């Protein structure tokens, strides 16, 4: 592939990624899950809490790459909905951490199943080998982007990311 071809392919990929992000916003409305009493963006905080365990709001904001005040507002929604709870930070009794409740774990399970069903439906006409190849290539792409982001000194390092 020549440099011009690579540039054209990179530009097409960039266009497709923008298209994918735009479609993703619309597709989340197609997830058939019950109302959990919190905004979708707040529900997305449950995923790192499930995987990483209880986190301080500042750490959760860092993991999500979001403003701590936004994450704090979203965390309040999760607590109010019973999907998360605040607990004392064992390292500093004056601070608190956010932890997933059993109801929050159930919400994660339902969101995970709905997401997988939606993706499965979108790929239902694809041969299994093509799905595997796409998955492998997408994983490789994400790993390359992740390595690039981690190598940029302008991007704050995140532990547990």
How do residues 52-103 score in pLDDT, each as one tens digit?
999 999 999 999 888 999 999 999 999 999 999 999 888 887 889 999 999 9
Strands (DSSP E) contained in the chain are 84-89, 92-100
73, 143: one domain = yes
Please report the pLDDT score of residue 139 as a whole number. Answer: 95
Distance of alpha carbon 33 from the chain centroid: 17
pLDDT digits (tens, 9 = 90+) for 93-108: 788 999 999 999 999 9
How confident is the prediction for the chain on average, in pLDDT? 88
128, 102: one domain = yes
100, 125: one domain = yes
Please report the pLDDT score of residue 27 as a whole number. Answer: 82
Mean pLDDT along residues 116-135: 95
Domain that holds residue 20: 1-30
Tokens of 147: 């390595």
């Amino acid at each position: 592939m020549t440099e011009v071809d690579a540039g054209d392919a990179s530009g097409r990929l960039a266009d497709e990624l923008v298209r994918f992000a735009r479609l993703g916003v619309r597709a989340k409305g197609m997830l058939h899950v019950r109302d959990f009493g919190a905004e979708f963006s707040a529900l997305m905080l449950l995923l790192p809490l499930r995987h990483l365990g209880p986190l301080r709001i500042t750490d959760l904001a860092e993991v999500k790459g979001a403003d701590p005040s936004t994450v704090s507002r979203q965390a309040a929604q999760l607590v109010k909905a019973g999907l998360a709870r605040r607990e004392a930070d064992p390292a500093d009794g004056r601070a608190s951490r956010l932890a997933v409740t059993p109801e929050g774990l159930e919400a994660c399970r339902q969101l995970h199943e709905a997401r997988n069903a939606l993706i499965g439906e979108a790929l239902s006409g694809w041969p299994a080998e093509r799905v595997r190849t796409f998955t492998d290539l997408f994983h490789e792409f994400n790993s390359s982007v992740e390595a690039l982001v981690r190598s940029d000194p302008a991007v704050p390092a995140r532990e547990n990311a």
